[in-house]
Homo-oligomer: A and B are copies of this chain.
Amino acid sequence: MSQARPRDPAEPGSGSARGIPEATVARLPVYLRALTALTERGIATASSEDLAVTAGVNSAKLRKDLSYLGSYGTRGVGYDVAYLRYQIAREIGLTQEWPVVIVGIGNLGEALANYAGFSSRGFRIVALVDADSDRVGETLGTLRIRPLEDLQDLITEHQVSIGVITTPAGSAQSVADRLVAAGVTSILNFAPTVISVPSGVDVRKVDLSIELQILAFHEQRKAGHAGALDAADVESA
């Protein structure tokens, strides 16, 4: 466990010690975005309360989260926005550029390929791959769509460690297998299916219809909604 004594940001390894809670890791990008927003507003120093409001979290949680990285604030003053922003970017690994491959160039894959928010945050899409021979050869932005057979070579050539799957559910597992075999160790899966990977490979899943279903669950329980009556009918039947 970590010692109670104050940590010095200059002490090598102090801030990057293992054991940053997953919940904290998931919020670091949110803080990064909030700091960017403050920078754009010309704000150089911000209190944990300012930052928390911008990020949409509670300030005690924010201070606790930041404390896992080190002591980057000044008591009585707050945080230097530019400095904290750099420290968080470094912690996440955004001081380097991450080459990314997208497999499955349907509507969603195409939208991601064109999404400016990736490149502006340290990710560079270096290859687009599709199994459909009709789409192969087509150019999207500056990239030509490549066949699945080229996947291994593309990953090796660009030293890709992060892959994005935007194929239909049926192809997702075999694509994941190929990505892993080629050396990819992080996968962002948009296909509506569970994929299995060896330990050591991280998978995150984004599921658009699941998000809507969670909203529907709560919506159904709100008073005044027509659905609430329907549900009661089913129940007493």
Which residues of A are interface residues toward B (Cβ below 8 A)? 12-13, 15-16, 18, 25-26, 28-30, 32-34, 37, 54-56, 90-96, 98, 100, 106-108, 110-112, 114-115, 117-118, 121-123, 159, 161-162, 164, 185-188, 192-194, 200, 202, 204, 206-222, 225-227, 230-231, 234-236
Say yes or no: B219 contacts A202, CB within 8 Å. Answer: yes
Given the interface pairs A95-B230, A210-B30, A234-B95, the reply to whether A215 lies near B202 with Cβ below 8 Å is: yes
The distance from the CB of A99 to the nearest CB of chain B, in whole angstroms, is 11
Query: How distant is the Cα of A15 from the Cα of B231 in the complex, in angstroms?
Result: 12
Whether A219 pairs with B185 at a CB distance below 8 angstroms is: yes
Cβ–Cβ contact A29 & B214, under 8 A: yes
Q: List 24 A-B contacts (CB under 8 A).
A: A12-B235, A13-B235, A18-B221, A29-B213, A33-B192, A33-B193, A34-B194, A91-B217, A94-B216, A95-B231, A96-B227, A96-B231, A107-B111, A112-B208, A117-B192, A117-B209, A118-B208, A118-B209, A162-B216, A185-B222, A186-B215, A186-B216, A188-B215, A202-B215
Instruction: Please state if B107 and A114 are interface contacts (CB–CB under 8 Å).
Output: yes
Contact residue among B56, B93, B206 (Cβ-Cβ distance under 8 Å from A231): B93
